[in-house]
Amino acid sequence: MLTCKDFLNELSDYLDESIDAELRARLEQHITECPNCWVIADTTRRTIQIYKGMDPYPVPTDVESRLMKALEKRIAAKKRAPTSLP
């Protein structure tokens, strides 16, 4: 039975697809039973895809939307400031 530590040790090879079929099957077995490692594998895989430029989604959507919200707040605050003064 594979432990989480074993899984993490093999993760980069697993994502590289440079491991043998038997070990791959054991790792896949582990992520079906371990949500934590599934999340780690999924996140790492996405990160690798982004670095390779294969990700169909723009990377910083979340960051960008948070930045835009912060900017909107600032702009709104600036707009509000003069009207709140007599």
Nearer to Zn ion, 11 or 50 (CB): 11
Closest CA to 26 of 3, 48, 46: 3
**Shortest distance (Å) from residue 40 CB to Zn ion:** 8
CA dihedral (36, 41, 44, 49) positive or negative: negative
User: To the nearest whole angstrom, how small is the minimum distance from the Cβ of residue 30 to Zn ion?
Assistant: 6
Rank residues 24 and 50 by Cβ distance to Zn ion and give the closer one. 24
Which positions lie near Zn ion, rule CB under 5 A?
Answer: 4, 34, 37
Distance CA 36, CA 40 (A): 6
What dihedral angle (degrees, nearest 10) is formed by the CA atoms of 57, 62, 63, 65? Answer: 110
User: Closer CB to Zn ion, residue 45 or residue 73?
Assistant: 45
The least CB distance from residue 58 to Zn ion, in Å, is: 30
